[in-house]
Structure formats: C-alpha cells, structure tokens
Structure 1
Amino acid sequence: MNAEITAKITIVYAREEPPDHWAAAVFLAGPTPRSADVPSWRPEAVAELRHRWRGDGRLVVFVPEDRHGRYPDYDAQVGWEERCLHLSDEVIFWVPRDLATMPAFTTNVEWGMWHDSGRAVFGAPPGAPRNRYLLHYAAASGVPAAADLAETVAVALARIGAGAARRGGERAVPLLLWRERPFQDWYMAQRRAGNELLGARVVFRFGVCWGLHVRMRVAAEDRVKDNEVVIGRPDVSAVVLHRPGRTLDDTEIVLVREFRSPCADGFVHELPGGSGPGRALENALAEVAEETGLVLAPARLREHGTRQVNATMSAHRAHLFSAEVTEDELVRLRGSGPHGAAAEGERTYVEVTPFGRIRRERLVDWATLGMIAEALLEPAPGA
C-alpha cells in the first residue's frame, strides 16, 4: 500500500489498496481535471479534512486521482472507484463544474447512483453551471447541501462524528448501518458463533429496513458463504389477546386486519404488534392500544420469549406476549375501529375469531399461527 499517512489521516489515491482498519472513510467525488494546467480542488478538501477531523481513530480519504497524474488502466480505475465508494461512510460531492475544463459528466452518473444512499453530501460554488438538477435531487432526497467546500466537508464530518473502529470485512459496513442496533444484534450473534464477516455491501435501505449482501466465513463448517442477503429491521412485539372457550378451537383470538401490499388479497390478518422506541413490554402495550383501542395494565401481559420470525431471510425477532381479555372487552373490541397510526398510513380493523377458524381457513401466516399456538399451549406459571 502506497497510501499517504499523516497522523490520523490516511490518503488513498487511485488504485492504491486501502488500509485494513479505520474509524471512518470518505470518498471525494466530483470532477477531476484532465489537464495539468487546471488545478484540482481535492488538495483543499484534504486540507479541510486534516484540520477538522476530531475522531479517535483513523480517517481514510479516498482520492480518485493518480498520485503521479497518470491513468494507465481505465477499467482498473473504474473498479477501484466502485469498491471505495461502497467502503465509504460519506461520499463528499463537490462540483465546481466548468464546461470547458471540468464538465463533470462522470460525476453526474455517480451522483445519480449515490444521491439516495444516505451517505452523500453535496456542495457546489454558487456560480457553477448545470447543477440545478443535482441540487433538486439533493433536496428531494434530504441530502445536505452547501455552497462552499469547507462547509461541505464540515457537514460530512458532523454526520461521521467520532466514527467507529472497524477492521477487515467490517470496513464494508457503513456507519449509518453499523450504528443501528438491529445490525449489531445480528453481528454480535455471528461473532459469538465464531463466524467472520469477510465482506458486505448494502443492497437497500427503506425506512427502518435494510438489506446487506454478506460474505461470511462459517466457523463450524470451515467454508465461505457469500450468496445471501441479511434483511434487518427493529425487533417487534406481538400480543395474543384471547378469551378461553370450551375447547382450544373455541378460544377467541383478537386479530387485526390491515392492508399490506405483499399479501395475496392485499390484507393481512395478524396479531396486534410492531416496533417502537421503548422496551419490548412497553412497545407491546403501545401497539395494542394503537391497533385495537384496548388499554392494558402491564401486569396483565404474560411473556413467552423471543424468536426470529423468518430465520432464512430476516434477522429481526418477535417478542411474544399474551393477555386474557374479558367478555366485556371482547364486546368493545368487536364494535371498535378503525384504528392505527393514520399519519403513517396505518389503518387497522379488529377481528375476533375462534382459533379453530384461524386454522381451518388459513387466516394467518405460519409465523403468526405458531405464536398463537405458543401462547395458548404454554402452561401457565405454577401449573
């Protein structure tokens, strides 16, 4: 590796190998001069990064310019840029476009690929031409924008903060995902099993959900597996509200019906539940109130443990609770609604249904059926 290392800053120029560990990494995206008569803006950006970096560990700066001003291998250059863009925690776009000397055609393409990644910041001098379209999508995607280079760098570093130490394959997990508890819960479980993350690439992020294509060394089998995507989201709390009947099949179960696009007929029948900022029990009580209108005291909930919901695809878990409801509560539930968080597009309808009908008519998915069965069949404490 020929990277330039000064104190806590490591500069990695085009086609040079990145270091094996860092606390944060940034990529300086934007037009590159193709003439020695035109000065590059990147030395000024590097100077700003040196001046402003306050993290505890190493900051790596990817500079897509040849250390000696040569570009002998176009394909290798493109491959290096793609790799290092994906390794970066922040992609700093600075676009001092000059149609004669730095038209920034490649920058337009890179911006289109990265503007909605959650890792981009955008800056351009007020007089730079043909940036209106880029600025439009910066605003539409919530990308911070600045009118001078120093401010653009400052915004990127503010989002990075102190960074986080990562080594080897961990470097491929950007800070925006590394800092998420669902990712850390999954990753810590893998490490406890002795497995090693060799590489990763973010496939998607949508709201609280993310997908990560991972390359793992499987300790128990001494092999590498790299053909899977881990889907993650915050854990959920689910609650089985029930009224015992003469038999198990006669037991009344409170379901909520809600439109969900992946469902065969557009509507899912599920248990009241969801995720939230509190502890699992607090989330369970809040979701029951939100989706059914029933307010329960914490002492009424019985806890049944935690399991993954779809272990071959999603890393998130369901915390299962149950509560026996009264006949008066069932009457109120049957006549209530609709419920849900309308501002978030959620509309739920209460359905009180015997367990036997749930089984026979396949009203719920296998995971929900299993949670209901667990709550109904698990012996009560002391029984």
Structure 2
Amino acid sequence: MTTEVIVVTPTEEPPTWWDAAVFLAGPNPRVPEVKSWRPEALDLIRARWTGGRLVVFSPEPATGAVRDYYGQIEWEEAGLHYADQILFWVPRDLATMPAFTTNVEWGTWHKSGKAVFGAPPEAPRNRYLRAAAESEQVPAADTLPSTVDLALAALRPTARRTAGERGVPLLIWRTPSFQQWYQTQRTANNTLLKARAEWVYRRGPGKRQVVYWALRTDIRVTAEDRTKPNQIVLSRPDQSTVVLYHPAPTPDDTVVVLVREFRSTATTSDAFIRELPGGAGPDHTSPKDQAAAEVHEETGLDLDPSRLIAHGRRQIAGTFSTHRAHLFSAELTAAEVATLRAAADTPNGEPGTTERTWVELHTYAEIRDGNLVDWPTLGMLAQVLSPRRSADGALQEAQE
C-alpha cells in the first residue's frame, strides 16, 4: 500500500477517497509574527505515517494567519465530521494564541471517541480540558510528537472509503453492526451518497468499544430511482434470544420462562420489562454460545449449548434499529422448571453491573392474553411454539 499524506486547507475540497483522515485542532496564530505549531505537526505526520492515503485537515490557511473567516467555519465543521481522529494540540498563550475557539471545539468533540489531547505542561488555562480528557478517557500527552503518535496509532487499521463513505468515521466503520448494515445496502445496489456521525456510545477499557451508533445518511435507492435524504440509521450489536419452555398438550398451556427486569424505557404499569433471556456479548462470540451464556446469567440455569435449537435471525425493530436477534429454543425438564420456580425470589444478573433479573414462569396463553410482553417477543414465542418450529428453524439457520 502506497503511503501518501495530503494536506487540505481552508477552503479546499478534500479528495474523493482516503484510507484515514485527521483534523489538526488547536489555536491559530492571529498575526504573521506568531509562529504556528502546525508545520511541525505536519512534518511529524509525514515522517511517521505509513498505511495508505492520509488526509490531514489543517484549518490554517497556507498563506499563514487567518484573516478572512468567509467559508472557514463551514469548512472546519465539515472537516471535523470527516475526520477519523481530531488531534487537539493546545499551546495556549493568552496574549498571542488564546485558543477560545479551540475551547468550543473541544467541548463539542471530546466525547466523540475521535479525539486525542495534547498541551505543553506550562500552557495556562488547560486544567478544565485535561480534566474532561481524563473523565472521557481521551488519550492525552504533553508533547506534540507524543500527541501525533496517539492520533496516528488510533487510525490503524485503516479502511478505504470513497465519496459518501468518507463521512463514516473509522470507529463506526470497523463495527460488525455497520458492516452488516452497509452490506445489505450494497447488495440492494443502493449508494451511500452522504453520511455524518450523529452519536456514539462507547464503553470498556479506554471507552474503545463502540456499542451504539447513529448516522445521518442520504441514500440513493436504486429500486425506486430516487434519493432518500436525512435518514437516521441507529444500530447496536446483534443479540441472542432464547425461548425456554416446558411442553404441554397445547401451545396455550406450554410453560415459558420470562425474565423480569427494570428498564428505564418501560411504559408498563409497574415499569418492568418482561422478556426472553437474551443479550449481546463480545463481537467474536458465536450466537449459540452467547445464548447459553445469557440463560445462565439471567436465570441461573446451566444450559449446554448443544440443547439449543436455532430458529434463524430477524430484525427486531426494523424501522428503528438495524440490529437483529438470533432466536434459539430449548425444551426444559420438569425438574428444571421446578428449580426455576423455587429460585424465583432470588435475583440474577451479571456480577459487577447494575443488571438485576427475576425469573417468571407463565403459560403461553397468560403471556399473550395478559399483555405481558412486547410484539417482537410475542412473535418469537409464536415462531418457536409452532408445530413446525424445529424443521423451519434448522433450515433457516443452515441457509444463513
């Protein structure tokens, strides 16, 4: 892969494709006599970058100090959204480079997952910025070379993006949930004309794991020969869901295991959600293994994955989110049902978290007629308790 660094300055148009992009955020000199920090940053980037075409958005005109703000604000806004990493270097000098605009940009972007922060130890009025960096686990350094290294390291592995794809930052592009959604669009011959990251939710060490994300998109819908603008695409990891049941002569009398849990989104009379055991785990965990793990975590039942029958996967809320559920079922013994009933007053949950779940057992008729679960859950129960469940489920999973 050829190494190339392209510097884009106000108000130049960026290239039509790149493998990574970085924005150099920080104070601009206001007069020509004040030395800028950006030439040194660019030299460091050119010397240290390997790995394809890197675009560097440098909001300092090639002619030197900013004198005309016509188009500058719009260009900076676009560049900040395009960037995979925003390198903040704040050598604040209250007389010559007060960095007031930088404060605004930092407040806007420090929670984005794209920022790195650097400042000389002696630079004044940076304590609040440093505290925010620590709170959000933003990588930080106190020299410009170290700050550059942090930004470049976060760009690897790169990904080539063209045209509208450039608006998808690497932290979203790398997620299985994005790739899954985008592959469906490309399979349908649709074109991503424009994208902008609106929000990400991160957790884990260094907040490096992107769990939820939202993009604003313009998509060319080939089948309808039109463009669908300003659409929000919301996503999260796929989940594994399990119907645990003890059979009866009729589906209505079949006993089903539900999990009761407080969810802040609940609109039920008691503010609890009743759902099937399930959830998402690490990206590389198989859906079946994740299903068995969720059963143990939420019900306390040790279930060998070999007992699980697969019923395929579908979107759960297709008008709201891209994520899908992998549906499984397992037939319980009378002894297992008795054990679950005996432990119904004992909460379960993932150790070290705020999750707390309670087991409930109801017949399918009680669940359906008592309005105990939401529509997607009722649909999953209907799929499993249908007499055709095993054959259809195994066939669908094999085809996928």
Partner of 1:292: 299
In 2: Cα distance, 1:291 partner to 1:381 partner: 24
Q: Displacement of 1:342 after TM fit? A: 3.6
Partner of 1:17: 13
Tell me the alpha carbon deviations over residues 174-228 of structure 1, each in whole angstroms, 9 at most, x when there is no partner: 1111111110010011101101111111111123111111111111011111232
| Aligned counterpart for 1:179 among listed residues 171, 174, 179 | 174
Partner of 1:198: 193
Partner of 1:358: 367
User: Structure 2 regions of 5+ residues with no counterpart?
Assistant: 203-210, 393-400
Q: Percent identity?
A: 56
| Residue aligned with 1:206, SS | strand
In 1: Cα distance, 2:358 partner to 2:231 partner: 36
- Change in 2 beyond 3 A, CA 1:240/1:170: same
In 2: Cα distance, 1:131 partner to 1:360 partner: 60
Q: Is residue 275 of structure 1 aligned with residue 271 of structure 2?
A: no
In 2: Cα distance, 1:286 partner to 1:89 partner: 35
Q: Is residue 151 of structure 1 aligned with residue 146 of structure 2?
A: yes
Q: Which moved more, 1:32-41 or 1:240-249?
A: 240-249
Give the total of aligned pairs. Answer: 377
**1:224-373 counterparts in 2 under 5 A?**
224-264=227-267, 265-277=270-282, 278-336=285-343, 337-373=346-382
| Residue aligned with 2:98, SS | coil
In 2: Cα distance, 1:95 partner to 1:376 partner: 62
Contact 2:239–2:287 (CA under 8 A) maintained in structure 1: yes
Q: Displacement of 1:246 after TM fit? A: 3.0
User: Structure 1 regions of 5+ residues with no counterpart?
Assistant: 1-5
- Change in 2 beyond 3 A, CA 1:75/1:329: farther
Q: Displacement of 1:298 after TM fit? A: 2.1
Partner of 1:3: none
- Change in 2 beyond 3 A, CA 1:326/1:181: same
Contact 1:23–1:162 (CA under 8 A) maintained in structure 2: no
| Residue aligned with 1:296, SS | coil
Q: Is residue 36 of structure 1 aligned with residue 43 of structure 2?
A: no
| Aligned counterpart for 2:79 among listed residues 60, 84, 108 | 84
Q: Which moved more, 1:324-333 or 1:65-74?
A: 65-74
Runs of 4+ in 1 over 4 A off after TM superposition: 70-73, 380-383
| Residue aligned with 1:217, SS | strand
- RMSD over aligned CA atoms reads 1.5
TM-score by structure 2 length? 0.92
Tell me the alpha carbon deviations over residues 278-330 of structure 1, each in whole angstroms, 9 at most, x when there is no partner: 10000000000110011112221111001000111111110000111011111
1:206 partner letter: Y
Tell me the alpha carbon deviations over residues 39-64 of structure 1, each in whole angstroms, 9 at most, x when there is no partner: 11000000010011011x10000010
In 2: Cα distance, 1:343 partner to 1:163 partner: 34
Q: Which moved more, 1:367-376 or 1:219-228?
A: 219-228
Partner of 2:127: 132
In 1: Cα distance, 2:91 partner to 2:360 partner: 60
- Change in 2 beyond 3 A, CA 1:219/1:73: farther
Contact 2:213–2:236 (CA under 8 A) maintained in structure 1: yes
In 1: Cα distance, 2:322 partner to 2:139 partner: 31
TM-score by structure 1 length? 0.96
2:127 partner letter: R
Q: Is residue 105 of structure 1 aligned with residue 100 of structure 2?
A: yes
In 2: Cα distance, 1:381 partner to 1:139 partner: 52
